[in-house]
Structures are given as structure tokens and as C-alpha cells.
Amino acid sequence: MKTKITEMFGIQHPIIQGGMHFVGFAELAAAVSNAGGLGIITGLTQRTPADLANEIARCHDMTDKPFGVNLTFLPIVQAPDYPGYVKAIIEGGVKIVETAGNNPQEYLPALKDAGVKVIHKCTAVRHALKAQKIGCDAASIDGFECGGHPGEDDIPNMILLPRAADELEIPFVASGGMADARSLVASLAMGAEGMNMGTRFIATKEAPVHENVKKAIVAASELDTRLIMRPLRNTERVLANEAVERLLEKERRLGKDLKFDDIMGEVAGVYPRIMTEGDMDAGAWSCGMVAGLINDIPTCKELIDRIMSDAEALISSRLSGVL
């Protein structure tokens, strides 16, 4: 399958594994890239630029295919060493960066001068237009269904993707709710040039997370996610668990008086305990509604091969058959 995204990134299939905290390590990124998709290392999971440089080197040892690095620009007082991370990406020979969070404009000149293609994750068409204006090469359009931060507009992909297609000149991929061939074909029909999968790639053999995490996703339905931090206008979609229910109770009780400090115990620094140790009630962790479509734990190659085979059958048989 050839799209503007496969051609831009030099990949076989229009499938991207999005950056995920304490999931996007070299093992997963390499497995996705070796299967013909685009694997992504999560930059800020690496504690320092030197750690990221080592992770990039590890990924090069595991694949000779293109892979990228996610760099999320966070609105926090003590910012990470972003210039150091950008330097590690460039010196590591990475040619694709997925940016997210705040405006990446400050770091685009260095990346572009090094020949790096930048795809920016956006939860609104206006954000995607801004990404296009500042020089991003592509956008990842993240619908309300997504795990993690869906923004504050609550627009699902059935509306958001066609709106993006109406407005954007740069290519974009669909993100949020993506799991299988139906996701891919529907995304293409709505104007996307491929899809970005997060939660689906956690439930794969190569994902370097505790087996409890994978089993929790398989066991979950589309009804088992919750939206937290809405009063703080920092909405996050997470899998329901005891810590999340405690957090939501605090939100209800404190109302407009809620502050981040009130829920810090449920959200700050919990990812290692969940992803590495498998403590599923340690805190809130990002998970998409797409969990309801995930019923197995295949290898990345099995998953991508299945998606592409089923997509071809959908397009050539079911869709052409209705004409």
C-alpha cells in the first residue's frame, strides 16, 4: 500500500506506533519497523539525552529500517533538556520525529537542517493548521477516543478526520481508536494517509511491559476507560482501576477547588510501577477506548501483516462489491 506517509517516511505500510511513556523502548520500535511500519522511541522516558542516545543506538542494532523518536513538549516549570534531546536525535541519525504537547517551533530549525521529518500530534484542526504553518511535514490527528490526552474539544474521529482533510495541505494520519484493518480503511476513506496506533501496540509480544498490563487491555471493554483531570483542563483518558476511582472521587468532592497536588499520588511517577512491576492499581495510566477491539497479544509482525491482509480484502472485496 502506497500513501504519502509511506513515501515520506520510507516505510512499507502506513502504520505508525505512537510514542508511549514507559512503552516506547527500542525493543518495540524495532519490532514495528522490522514489520514494515514506523516504530517510535519515547524520548522523555529516557531520563537524560545520553540515555536517549544509548536507546537510539540500541534500536539501530535491532533494525536497519526507519524509526522515529517522540518528543513531547510539556508545560512544566522545570523543563527537560530539550536541546540535549534534539542533539541526541540528530547525532543518532534519526530522520523522523513525532512531536506532541506544546508548540515545537523553537526546535524545528535544528531538526529541519538535519533533514529530519517532523510529524506533530494534534487534537484539533486549528492545532494542525498551526503545525502546518510553522513547517511540520505531517500531522497525527488525535480523536477524542484516544488514550492519553485528547484535548478539550471532545471531537471524535468520524468528524475530526474529514475536517482535517478539508483544511490541511500536509498529509496526516489518524490516531485514537485505531486497532485493525477496519480502522485503517476507514481512516483512508476519511482523508488520512495512514494510522497511528498506541494502545493496540502495548498488547503485543514485543512490548516491553509487564504481562499484567497486556492482559488488562485484552480483558477491558470499550466501557472501561475514564476521563481524569477534566477540571484542570488537562484531560487524560485512562484505564479504570482503584486509583482512578479514588482520583475521580476527589474531583467530585473538591469541585472547582481541585488542584494538581490533590491528585499527585494517583498520577505522578506511577508508570514504572505499572509498566515494569505490573501493579495495576498503582495509579492512572493512559489507555484508549480501542481496548474494546483488542482480543489477543500477537507479535508486531503478525499484527501488521493481519491488518494489511484484511485491509486489502476489505477494499477489493467488500467495498468494491457494494458498487
**Separation CA 257–CA 186 (nearest Å):** 42
Q: Which domains does the chain have, with CATH numbers?
A: 4-209 (3.20.20.70), 221-286 (no CATH)
The type of residue at 76 is I
Q: What is the tens place of the pLDDT at every residue in 72-85? A: 998 777 889 999 99
67 alpha-carbon distance from chain centroid: 14
For strand 236-239 and strand 225-228, is the pairing parallel, antiparallel, or unpaired?
A: antiparallel
**Separation CA 100–CA 141 (nearest Å):** 11
Secondary structure element (H or E) that encloses residue 103, with its range? none
Report which of 174, 172, 193, 170 is spatially closest to residue 183, judged by C-alpha positions.
174
**Separation CA 116–CA 114 (nearest Å):** 6
Residue range 305-309: average pLDDT? 98
pLDDT at residue 312 is higher than 90: yes
Coil/strand/helix, residue 240: coil
Residue range 125-141: average pLDDT? 98
> CA distances (Å), 205 to each of 27, 28, 67, 79, 214, in order?
10, 9, 19, 34, 9
**Separation CA 272–CA 247 (nearest Å):** 19
166 alpha-carbon distance from chain centroid: 23
> CA distances (Å), 145 to each of 192, 216, 286, 287, 290, in order?
16, 18, 12, 10, 7
Q: Residue 74's pLDDT is what?
A: 85
Contact 37, 17 (CB under 8 A): yes
Q: Residue 78's pLDDT is what?
A: 83
At residue 219, φ and ψ (nearest 5 deg) are -75, -20
Question: Mean pLDDT in the chain?
Answer: 97
The band of 134, judged by pLDDT with boundaries at 50, 70 and 90, is: very high
Residue range 233-250: average pLDDT? 97
Residue range 198-210: average pLDDT? 98
